[in-house]
Structures are given as structure tokens and as C-alpha cells.
Amino acid sequence: MPIVTPLTKLLGIRVPVVQGGMQWVGLPRLAAAVSEAGGLGVLTALSQPSPDALRKAIRETKKLTSKPFGVNITLLPTINPPDYEGYARAAVEEGVRIFETAGNNPGPLIKFFKSQGCIVVHKCTTIRHAKSAEKMGVDVLSIDGFECAGHPGEEDIGGLVLLARAANDLKVPYIASGGIADARGFAAALALGACGVNMGTRFMATVESPIHQNIKDTIVKSSERDTVHIFRTLHNTARVFKNKVSMEVVAIERRPGGAKFEDVRELVSGARGKLVYENGDPDYGIWSAGIAVGLINDIPTCEELVKTLESGVERTIGNLQGLVVAKSKL
């Protein structure tokens, strides 16, 4: 039986799973493969060097799938911000109608997308930010727990509590993000009130993922202890893979008197992180990974993964139903 939730109905997808918008990973081949498999594939806008390049990526994705896919635009804390408006307009003009937004001050972006009749999924790491996004008119919230790759916020709240709070406090549907990589986690998220899940790290270890095979193999070999937080002292916490570079960053941050961003700028450069995915050396730079690496044991196609998740969720929910016994049978 299909898994039907407000997310599947709203987005027109078969399985309520969204591929996270990952820098250098959310490219056409992966996004199209996830959508073809029945989930929602997501292109990462800022993986493209310009709005025109994003147009080409959207057109390439459309050649690979006729099913819905989205575009992620993440607002970064940077001195020289990218052309967010240009990326947004390019995507809308190319016919994209589903957007994932994240980061600070998303109001203008959300307002623009809603004015164009688009569906907006906004990622939050706290309930108060989720309530604020609700007021801005987002359609779905993505509640990102402390387990996630990338930026978990500064309050260190795990998904178990965060999702339960969301069930009590939010009015719009929400999906669970962070630490989910298998059917058990998927089913647990649904039990906690989510209408779907967002998976990033799990989709990195798929056949269609555009990263080097050695990095995929590294993910499979890793445990839940193989990630680390950087930028804690800079109040811009990020969970990344634990390697020589990330541990050097942590050591610099722990120096007496702390550290400034300039002290680690070269170590954490995005160019070095991109090369990790291209040259396959997991120690070359900083790259994002969630603690879900501890749950990843294979490298399936996106179709195989989504089918496994779908059947596993159905089986898990069925097993749970067996725990409820009528009083007359006791």
C-alpha cells in the first residue's frame, strides 16, 4: 500500500522523501534519479556558478525526468552574498514550482516564491524559527535536528524532542530532517507527526550521486562517531566529516583566546571541499556528513533505495500495529 501524507498530495510524489539540497551534490543526475524513484529530487542552486548556469541545470534535469523536482536556495552568512534573487527568478522562469529555502532572513525570498504560486519548504532548527516561517506563509516546514549534516543551529536539540514539539506547536505540515537514513527512522518520523522526511547524507551514497566513489566508500565504512562540529566558537556550528582538516580547525578554535574566521579561512574553503568530491581524498578539505553515516552500509541506485525505504516503512508500521492487542484477546 502507498504511503499517503499531506506531502505526497501537495508535491505530487509517491513516497514522502525529499533529497536534501547539498552543495556540490544536488546536481541534475541525482535530483532526476530521486524524482524518478518516487521521491522529490532537489537541485542546489548555489552549486551552480550563476543563475544562467542554474537554468541549464534545470533544463538538463527536465530531460532526465518528467516528475516534480525542486530547487534549494540557502541564504549564507557571507560578506559578498550570491545573487539570490537572480537564482530565484531563473528557476521560476524555467518552470520550477517547488523550492526549499534555508538560512537567515528568508522573508523576501519566500514572499517572491509565494507571489509566483510556488510551494515553499523552509528548513528550521528551532520551533521559534519555524513559527516565524509559518507567519511568512511557507507551505511545509523542514525540522532539522541536531543530528544533521551542515548547520544544526546553536541550541543542540535532537530530532526526537524537536519533532514532538513541532507536532504540538506547528499548524502547517512538517518533514523530519537530520539523522534519518533507513526505514526505521522514516517510520519513527511519521510516528512523531512528520508528513515525510528529508535525507541528505543517505543520498550521497547512491549510484547516481555525483561524488567520487572513494567518498561513497568512506561513508559506508564510517560510524556515527565519524563526524565533528566546527565553528562552535564562532557561533556558526557545522557538522562535517571528521578528518585531518576538520580536526585542525577544531584545534585552532580551542586555542587560548579562541579563533577568528580568518584563522581557518583557507582550511574551510569551499573550493577545497568541492575537490574532495572530485579527487576522492576524504582528508583534502571540509565536507558535510551527518551522523546518519553510521546507518549507511551500501551504495544502491536511488530507485533501489526509495523502494527499500517504502517497503521497510510499510513493514515497520505493520509490525507496530501488531503490538496493539484488543482487551478481549488479553
- Grid coordinates in use for 286? 571540509
Could you give the CA distance from residue 238 to residue 228 in angstroms, rounded to a whole number? Answer: 8
Give me the domains of the chain, ranges plus CATH numbers.
12-211+297-311 (3.20.20.70), 227-279 (no CATH)
pLDDT digit string (tens) for the chain, length 330 residues = 789 999 999 999 999 999 999 999 999 999 999 999 999 999 999 999 999 999 999 999 999 999 999 999 999 877 789 999 999 999 999 999 999 999 989 999 999 999 999 999 999 999 999 999 999 999 999 999 999 999 999 999 999 999 999 999 999 999 999 999 999 999 999 999 999 999 999 999 999 999 999 999 999 999 999 999 999 999 999 999 999 999 999 999 999 988 999 999 999 999 999 999 999 999 999 999 999 999 999 999 999 999 999 999 999 999 998 898 766 666
- Grid coordinates in use for 58? 534545470
Task: Report the candidate in 90, 80, 17 with the shortest Cα–Cα distance to residue 48.
Answer: 90
Q: How far apart are the first and last CA of the chain?
A: 29
One DSSP character per residue, 192-251 reads TT-S-EEESHHHHTSTT--S-HHHHHHHHH--TTSEEEESTTTT--EEEE-SHHHHHHHH
**Which one-letter amino acid corresponds to residue 30?**
L
Q: Specify the DSSP element, H or E, that contains 315.
A: helix 302-321
Q: Please, is 189 exposed, middle or buried when counting C-beta atoms within 10 Å of its C-beta (0-12, 13-18, 19+)? A: buried
pLDDT tens, position by position, 236-258: 999 999 999 999 999 999 999 88
Could you give the CA distance from residue 117 to residue 41 in angstroms, rounded to a whole number? Answer: 20
What pLDDT score does 80 carry?
Answer: 86
Q: Specify the DSSP element, H or E, that contains 324.
A: none
Scan for cell 543563475, then name that residue.
51
Q: Enter the pTM of the model.
A: 0.96
What pLDDT score does 326 carry?
Answer: 65
- Asked if 69 and 43 touch (Cβ cutoff 8 Å), the reply is yes
pLDDT tens, position by position, 53-109: 999 999 999 999 999 999 999 998 777 899 999 999 999 999 999 999 999 899 999
- Residue 121 phi/psi, 5-degree rounding, is -110, 120
pLDDT tens, position by position, 122-140: 999 999 999 999 999 999 9
| Percent of the chain whose predicted confidence (pLDDT) is above 70 | 98
Could you give the CA distance from residue 251 to residue 263 in angstroms, rounded to a whole number? Answer: 11
Q: What is the DSSP letter of 276?
A: H
* CA-based torsion, 141, 154, 106, 288: positive or negative: negative
Task: Report the candidate in 110, 90, 84 with the shortest Cα–Cα distance to residue 99.
Answer: 110
- Residue 137 phi/psi, 5-degree rounding, is 100, 20
CA angle 312/315/321 to nearest 5° reads 140
What pLDDT score does 76 carry?
Answer: 86
Q: Strands 238-241 and 227-230, how do they pair? A: antiparallel
CB hemisphere CA count around 117 (13 angstroms): 3
